[in-house]
Chain A
Amino acid sequence: MGMTAVEKALARASGAQQVQPWDVVYPEPALVFVHDGHVEGARRELDALGIDCITRPERVVFATDHEVVYLSPRAAARGSAIRRTARDWNVGHFYDAGRGGHGHLFPMEAGLVTPGMFVFASDMHCSNFGAIGAVPVRAGPEVVSVLAMGTLWTTVPPSVKVVLSGRLQPGVSCRDVGFRMTQALLQSAPTIDIDYRYLELAGDALDALDLHERIALCNTPTEAGVAGVFVPPSARVLDWCRQRARQPFEPVSSDPDATYEATFTFDLSGLGPQVALPGSPANAADLAQVAGTPVQHAYLGSCGSGMYEDFAIAARLLRGRRIAAGTRLFVVPGTVECAQRMAEAGLTEVFMDAGAVVLPAGCGPCAGGNMGLMDSGEASISTAATNHAGRMGPKDSKCYLGSPATVAASAIAGRITDPREFLEAIR
């Protein structure tokens, strides 16, 4: 019987010939990611049980991305605790503040995560790694078990095939697709259930998509409860990974007779710019519905739009223009490498000339309360991963989400603006 790519990766990591959806397996991950906010809790939990060492520390990655700049004594103390734990546990890959950047992005750039690899992570947006054809699974707080025992009981998720057709119109990006596609998938319930399903992208539209676009497609469905998004890597993506990989890798792909629980088709060509209304990234609406809404806060970055190309699109709109008075724009490169490229290519200068605040690589304001906050009653447009009430400030501040181009256009105008108004600049 054929297997999907995800089933193959899980079978390989579990030492099994064959796995089926809903089987419970104990896969051994090639890497285990623990983000800065989860290290202290994991340490406390294992200490309380008297467990003073971890299994295969050489496979463990600590990523400092949620709180890169310590803005409180508590945060500085947490930084010390993380450093201590990295040392005590002999953690193989410790990325301290200012190193690496966003833990959902730099591991791909650094060639740590490679196609076909199965990994566990403490944070659900590890789903980004699906963009290069890796198979990540969120362990959440149970990452503690992975650290101690080297594995964790894992239910093999059923796969849902998502067939993308058509080509994007100018001024429309894969973030727009992500908002609308996730909404459409949720609206397909109960015929299609995406709760703990692995989406596998397919279709004619896929081959043309660059890595940053693939990442964008992994981002929003994650917030809606999928187990992950698997994007079969194109020849270009595989080349990019080969140039960076620290070790040889073996991609996985689905068998022609693999079984999918459902198939969903989505046409890219009919889509215009979208905005996710406050409350959920799946609250997609045509931008026209909210065009003109004043925004005091704007932000480019996050795990969904933190690659160099995302900033290049925004910079094309912002070059030679100024952000509206009364609006502040935060720019957060996803990774240190991205920040360096932005500086070398003159993008950083474009953002600063436009009046933006360029912050260090990491999660930025999306991490929730760490930096770049809103005041009560303010509204924001950003490329953040999520927009629940209170995510970037008081509960009554409003978080709209859009593509990098939409955020740049809106920051210039000081109100939610269709980026196609600057179409010649983004062609």
Chain B
Amino acid sequence: MSDPAWHYRGTCHRFGDDVEHDAQMISFDFVIRRVMDPEVLIPHLFETTRPDFHRRARPGDLVIAGRNFGKGKAHIQAYVAMKAMGLALACESMPYNTYRALIGLGFTFMTGCTGIAALVEDGDEVEIDFRTGAFTNHTSGVSRSFRPLPERALEIIRQGGTQGVLRAWWAARQAAATGPA
């Protein structure tokens, strides 16, 4: 049985190579103003490249992209919106700082999925188990197995990213300090 927290099945939103966070995913203005409220960010996600994206995307949908997704500075506003919308991501590659930022945010994703962008069309029905790396395109009938994120990264995401890890660590420390002798 697959773990429901890691298991996504929905419509594929396909993107190509070199999608830059600033401007292409969301306006840089939100970055400068340090806006982190997903309700504010969601209507603007992909608004210049995919108008109405926020109306068409449903929880469980998958963003599938080519190489160098999230290039440029590792800003996170677009991923904050994607996470709040219940989306997950699989791509062929991304800069390391983007990779770190996504794990730190507690966002469900997979990278290093060589060739994945060629396996999908926009609108296909796709399924990914992010724990095992199993990928299926139900529209075309193609299946593949990709390498999931390292176990330690999955654990950080499961705890809710950097904030979740810190919260859990502090709670455990407090409990140890006040617990029975």
Binds A, one of B58-66, B123-131, B135-143, B158-166: B158-166
Set of chain A residues within 8 Å of B165, measured between Cβ atoms = 145
B170–A49 CB distance below 8 A: yes
A153 with B163: in contact, given A196-B96, A225-B97 (CB under 8 Å)?
no
Is residue B152 within 8 Å, beta carbon to beta carbon, of the partner chain?
yes
A196–B97 CB distance below 8 A: yes
Contact with B along A23-53 (1 / 0, CB 8 A): 0100000000000000000000010011100
Within 126-155 of A, Cβ neighbours of B (below 8 Å) are at: 140-142, 144-145, 148-149, 153, 155
Q: Which of B97, B150, B152 contacts A140 (CB 8 A)?
A: B97
A153 with B156: in contact, given A140-B97, A195-B96, A196-B97 (CB under 8 Å)?
yes
Set of chain B residues within 8 Å of A141, measured between Cβ atoms = 104
B150–A145 CB distance below 8 A: no
A142–B170 CB distance below 8 A: no
A142–B100 CB distance below 8 A: yes
Is residue A366 within 8 Å, beta carbon to beta carbon, of the partner chain?
no
Looking across the interface, which residue of chain A has its beta carbon closest to that of B153?
A: A24
A225–B96 CB distance below 8 A: yes
How many residues belonging to A are interface residues under a CB distance threshold of 8 Å? 19
Set of chain A residues within 8 Å of B96, measured between Cβ atoms = 155, 195-196, 225, 227
Set of chain A residues within 8 Å of B153, measured between Cβ atoms = 24, 153
How many residues belonging to B are interface residues under a CB distance threshold of 8 Å? 16
Bound CA–CA A50/B170 (angstroms): 8
Q: Which 5 A-B pairs have the closest CB atoms?
A: A196-B96, A24-B152, A51-B170, A195-B95, A195-B96
CB distance from B35 to the nearest CB of A (A): 15
B166–A149 CB distance below 8 A: yes
Q: Main SS of the interface on chain B?
A: helix
Set of chain B residues within 8 Å of A51, measured between Cβ atoms = 166, 170
Looking across the interface, which residue of chain B has its beta carbon closest to that of A22?
A: B150
> Which residue among B97, B152, B163, B166 has the maximum number of chain A CB atoms within 10 Å of its CB?
B166
Bound CA–CA A141/B75 (angstroms): 11
Bound CA–CA A196/B101 (angstroms): 13
Within 231-280 of A, Cβ neighbours of B (below 8 Å) are at: none
Set of chain B residues within 8 Å of A22, measured between Cβ atoms = 150
B166–A24 CB distance below 8 A: no
Bound CA–CA A153/B153 (angstroms): 9
Complex A-B: 12 CB contacts under 8 Å: A24-B152, A24-B153, A49-B170, A51-B166, A140-B97, A140-B100, A145-B162, A148-B169, A149-B166, A195-B95, A195-B96, A196-B95
Looking across the interface, which residue of chain B has its beta carbon closest to that of A51?
A: B170
Is residue B167 within 8 Å, beta carbon to beta carbon, of the partner chain?
yes
B150–A24 CB distance below 8 A: yes
A142–B95 CB distance below 8 A: no
CB distance from B28 to the nearest CB of A (A): 11
Bound CA–CA A281/B170 (angstroms): 41
Bound CA–CA A148/B156 (angstroms): 16
CB distance from B11 to the nearest CB of A (A): 30
Bound CA–CA A196/B166 (angstroms): 25
Q: Which of A49, A140, A144, A227 contacts B167 (CB 8 A)?
A: A49
A148–B170 CB distance below 8 A: yes
Bound CA–CA A155/B170 (angstroms): 23
Bound CA–CA A309/B160 (angstroms): 48
Set of chain B residues within 8 Å of A227, measured between Cβ atoms = 96
